[in-house]
Amino acid sequence: MERSSTITITGAGGQIGYALLFRIAAGDMLGPDRPVRLRLLEIPQGVRAAEGAALELQDCAFPLLESVDVTVSAEDAFDGAEIGMLVGARPRGPGMERADLLAANAGIFGPQGAAIAKGAASGFRAVVVGNPANTNALIAANAAEGMPEGRFTALTRLDHNRAVGQLAEALEIGAGAIADVIIWGNHSATQFPDIAHAQLADGRTVFDALADRMGGPIAALAWLDDVFIPRVAGRGAEIIEVRGSSSVASAANAAIEHVRDEQRGSRRGWTSAAVVSRGEYGVPEGLVCSFPVISRGDGEGYRVVEGLDFDPRGRALFEASVAELVAERDAVRALGVL
């Protein structure tokens, strides 16, 4: 057995929390040899749901689960924590715009960042799931004084997986055959799902495979512009429309894969995650932006894959999403939060 890890999950009494806890306790995130200690942070209205989940976790008798603590104190929740999964936030309902969420969530992620700076373990790393995820991560990173801001990431793995899922369906192949898709920008409708570098396990590019299947490169380009990009970028809204609330199991699955790869090393090719920009690809420093990333599982977290080319159309789509991140940052600054 490896040494145990302490994982703090905020919003643990909510829907994504419920989909996360049992898989983490079963070893799906950190592996079958890593015991886990779970800290469940909630607000008073959600604490009974978190306590109920804790009872059910006990009833599963997971061999890897060392302890479960439920608390409404961010300081208690993050004290000694090594991994944070910051899920608790106000979810977007039908018809609500993301901008409405900025003010509501700014008051959550600042205090949590401060609690992390005060008590989390020195190697602490966090993924922000609660929306608007990129900007909530920016707020938490800024509030965590003394902690390197690169410890905070935001989830775009769900968008990455959605893109792979759409390609697998279009090509009638297994999702596992597709590598090196990229989500650039914000976890929002402005994101740019990019297949320019994507490849299949048989060595063909995804673009060539699409062109073969669709009758030529012009048809493939039309499908990318008219179907693929809007479908992936609008999938969150589509799920809300169909389910009546935002994605849960797929979001939890993506969060588990994000942390798994960051902690233990990414697999074939790269994946996508929103990380603090150091100016890569011209993105203003400090913005939490989705890039192609790899992790070696060496404790250094995700590194941006640099040096990839854009065509002019792709560059314009990426810049539009980065402009939205800048606008979100400026809106939060105007609230006096940064």
Would you state the structure tokens that stand for residue 265, as one six-digit string? Answer: 């090393």
Q: Which of 6, 8, 71, 131 binds ligand NAD (CB under 6 A)?
A: 131
The distance of closest approach from Cβ of residue 188 to ligand NAD in the complex, given in angstroms and rounded to an integer, is: 10
67-86 burial, b at 16+ Cβ within 10 Å, e below that, comes to ebebbeebebbbbebbbbbb
What is the distance between the alpha carbons of residues 263 and 153, in angstroms, rounded to a whole number?
13
Number of other CB atoms surrounding residue 169 within 10 Å = 11
Q: Are 274 and 134 in contact (CB under 8 A)?
A: yes
- Indicate the DSSP class of residue 8: E
93 a known binding residue?
no
Q: Is residue 239 a contact point for ligand LMR (CB under 6 A)?
A: yes
Nearer to ligand LMR, 199 or 272 (CB): 272
Nearer to ligand NAD, 102 or 220 (CB): 102
- Indicate the DSSP class of residue 292: E
CB neighbour list of residue 81: distance below 8 Å, 6 or more residues apart: 6, 7, 8, 39, 116, 119, 120, 121, 124
**Which of ligand LMR, ligand NAD, none has residue 88 at its interface (CB below 5 to 8 Å by kind)?**
ligand NAD
What is the distance between the alpha carbons of residues 50 and 228, in angstroms, rounded to a whole number?
38
Q: Is residue 10 a contact point for ligand NAD (CB under 6 A)?
A: yes
Beta strand pairing call for 182-184 and 192-194: antiparallel
Of residues 127 through 146, those in contact with ligand LMR by CB under 6 A are 131
Which residue's Cβ lies closest to ligand NAD? 14
Which residue's Cβ lies closest to ligand LMR? 236
Helix (H, G, I), strand (E, B) or coil at 152: strand
Q: Which of 91, 113, 193, 301 binds ligand LMR (CB under 6 A)?
A: 91
236 a known binding residue?
no
C-alpha closest to that of 260 among 210, 297, 303:
297
R_g of the chain, CA atoms, integer Å: 19
User: Stretches 88-96, 293-301, 309-317, 319-327: which one binds ligand NAD (CB under 6 A)?
Assistant: 88-96
14 a known binding residue?
yes
Active site residue 187: yes
What is the distance between the alpha carbons of residues 31 and 17, in angstroms, rounded to a whole number?
19
Q: Under rule CB under 6 A, how many of the chain's residues touch ligand LMR?
A: 9
User: Stretches 196-204, 245-253, 280-288, 320-328: which one binds ligand LMR (CB under 6 A)?
Assistant: 245-253
- Interaction pattern, residues 168-207, with ligand NAD; x per rule: CB under 6 A: -------------------x--------------------
Which residues contribute to the site for ligand LMR (CB under 6 A)? Answer: 91-92, 131, 158, 236, 239, 246-247, 251
Q: Which residues are catalytic?
A: 187
Which residues contribute to the site for ligand NAD (CB under 6 A)? Answer: 10-11, 13-17, 41-43, 45-46, 87-89, 91-92, 108, 129-131, 133, 155, 158, 187, 246-248, 251
Binding site for NAD(+), by residue number, is 11-17, 105, 112, 129-131
